Amino acid sequence: MQLHEKIPNNVNLSQDRRLLRALEKWQPNYMKWWMEAGPAGFQADNIYLRTAIDVGSDGWANFDYVKMPDYRWGIFLSTPEQDRRIPFGDLYGKPVWQEVPGEFRNQLRRIIVTQGDTEPASVEQQRLLCSSAPSMYDCRNLFQVNVEEGRHLWAMVYLLHAYFGRDGREEAEALLERRSGDFDKPRILSTFNEPIEDWLSFFMFTMFTDRDGKYQLLALAESGFDPLSRTTRFMLTEEAHHMFVGDTGIGRVVKRACELMKEDSNEDARPQGGIDLETIQRYVNFWFSSSLDLFGGEISSNAADYFATGLKGRAKEEKFADHVALIGEYDLEVLEQGNLARKSVPMRNAMNEVVRDGWVEENQKGVDRWNRIIREAGIDFEIKLPHRRFNRKMGVYGGHFFDPSGRPITDEEFNRRRFEWLPSDKDKAHVKSLMQPVLERGQMAHWIAAPNSGINGKPLDFEYIRRD
């Protein structure tokens, strides 16, 4: 079978001999990377997976058993929009580009490489989680996330090969050479070098970090470079399941914590073999604050340039009244001489913060769902998102210290109270001690509740993984 037959696509791959040769050269290195850095120990097994086959709203994917190395990583662009115009910035209303404008070549390549680097990074971070999966259902969901992140890497590599010549080919190779957490060749963004050694961290990652991915893709879906816009629009179709895994996963951990609290004389889930709500809160604080940094600085000349030139917009640009953003301002609190002060920032320079606002608001809806579970259990506890100033490593708040409510504090107080707010070694050791594999059909680990339903209408005790 030739490569264009192995790779479902709607980009006429079989007709573009130059592109096909480039991808044929890249594909063996991709498979080498997948076998070295992809899920460990299940590559020979048949997994019940969703595979993208089309871009239509009906029947865009099918479900069937497949061995992960045989997964058909497709290249799909959403259906072209007739007479599409650049929807924002200085070039607002001009026709979109079907080729890379020479003056924006470097910036576009940087955007695509940064996005592309996150896709294999998350697979590497999650490589060993399958050995401690709390159920067959969860293990299958992990593999679904992994193969789709692999497909998203193919999507970015397609753009690099198709539109950036030799530079693009070199960047595509480099995407396979970097490794999450590697001292010499780490991934580009710091969050994607964080270890994910337990399933609570995995659920937090798919809740918060994958949701950052959604908002980055939404911003890129507005791009005046139409192939990038169409590529990211289709990627968003798959991304929804990744966030579902995180949102419902944390909800199930919360539900089980509440059940175990009722069984304990001190209302403590930990001695009963669960993850207590306080520990869940500390994990929320860590992963939420880490993911906040992925949006970039609150005041950013790069974001302003990307917006002005039509390369990267705001998520759901159509909801904004002013698509040029030359006269508006964003009200931002900054730290000046140890005190918070209001500062008006030109709207274009605050584009990262505008996108971040939508992300925070959407995350809050997930937290509200978890708190509803707690209230319905009759337990007096509320999970809260920390303030966006808390535990930041970059931007105007990086290098400064705040408590989870956003109040400025000294570094001494932060370090003294760090493990009130962030996971301690003891927390991590307890969570890790619970990570024992449960792969019998329909069974769940003791520390997590069962989901409400199975995948694709299948029952919970469906054989999602057939061990070979």
Asked if the model's pLDDT at residue 168 lies above 60, the reply is yes
Asked if the model's pLDDT at residue 3 lies above 70, the reply is no
Taking residues 68-75, what's their average pLDDT? 93
User: Which residues have C-beta within 8 Å of that of residue 233, sequence separation ≥ 6?
Assistant: 77, 78, 217, 221
Compute the distance between CA of residue 420 and CA of residue 399 in angstroms, rounded to an integer. 20
Asked if the model's pLDDT at residue 219 lies above 70, the reply is yes
Specify the pLDDT at position 55: 82
Distances, alpha carbon 76 to alpha carbons 55, 150, 235, 332, in Å: 7, 13, 8, 39
User: Which of the given ranges, 18-22, 71-75, 228-232, 335-339, has the highest pLDDT on average?
Assistant: 228-232
Question: Nearest 10 degrees: CA dihedral of 455, 459, 465, 468?
Answer: -150
Neighbouring C-beta atoms of residue 200, cutoff 10 Å = 27
Segment holding 115, helix H or strand E? helix 105-125
Helix (H, G, I), strand (E, B) or coil at 274: coil
Asked if the model's pLDDT at residue 337 lies above 90, the reply is no
Taking residues 300-310, what's their average pLDDT? 98
Confidence grade of residue 468 (pLDDT, cut at 50, 70, 90)? confident
Q: What is the pLDDT of residues 397-416, one digit of tens each?
A: 999 999 999 999 999 999 99
What residues does each domain of the chain span?
3-466
- Comparing 4-18, 61-75, 379-393, the range with the smallest average pLDDT is 4-18
Count of H helices and E strands in the chain? 13, 5
pTM (2 d.p.):
0.96
Specify the pLDDT at position 14: 87
Q: What is the DSSP letter of 93?
A: T
Specify the pLDDT at position 117: 98
Compute the distance between CA of residue 467 and CA of residue 239 in angstroms, rounded to an integer. 27
Q: What is the pLDDT of residues 285-300, one digit of tens each?
A: 999 999 999 999 999 9
Paired tokens of 454: 């199975």
- Bridge partners, 329 (sequence order): 346
Which CATH number is 3-466 given?
Answer: 1.10.620.20
Q: What is the pLDDT of residues 172-192, one digit of tens each?
A: 999 999 999 999 999 999 999
Specify the pLDDT at position 54: 86
Average pLDDT of the residues of the chain? 96
Q: What is the pLDDT of residues 192-207, one digit of tens each?
A: 999 899 999 999 999 9
Asked if the model's pLDDT at residue 1 lies above 80, the reply is no
